[in-house]
Amino acid sequence: MEGQPRVVPGVVTRGPAIEIVVDGNPAKAHEGESVAAALLAAGRRTLRTTDRRGEPRGLYCGIGVCFDCVMTVDGRPGVRTCQTPVRDGMRVETQAGTGAWRVET
């Protein structure tokens, strides 16, 4: 169900809306939530792909232990998105394998 919203209306109060950039595309998020939570709420399940087989991985433990949620954030690879709060204008990219450092210009 990639791309389907995962929000239960009326149950959780979200912070003010902000915008992040995910793989070059603008995406809505809310202050106070993690990158992984924002992407999950937007219906995105795949956050990285494995090094050898390119298999999809996504949010698993949600507490910073498994590293399945790592993405490249603002050019820095290997960021655990379940432990990283969103910030307006943040640039997030799907990470392939161990990723690569990217210098923002």
Q: Under the rule (CB under 6 A), what is the footprint of ligand FES?
A: 59-62, 64-69, 80, 82
User: Closest Cα partner for 25 from 73, 81, 82, 91?
Assistant: 91
Return the number of the residue (41 or 59) whose C-beta is nearest ligand FES: 59
Number of H helices, E strands in the chain: 1, 8
Least gap, CB of 69 to ligand FES (angstroms)? 3
Least gap, CB of 40 to ligand FES (angstroms)? 10
Least gap, CB of 47 to ligand FES (angstroms)? 8
Q: DSSP letter at 96?
A: E
Return the number of the residue (17 or 97) whose C-beta is nearest ligand FES: 97
Q: How far apart are CA 9 and CA 21, in angstroms?
A: 24
Q: How far apart are CA 53 and CA 80, in angstroms?
A: 21
Least gap, CB of 60 to ligand FES (angstroms)? 5
* Count of positions (residues) in the chain: 105
Return the number of the residue (51 or 67) whose C-beta is nearest ligand FES: 67
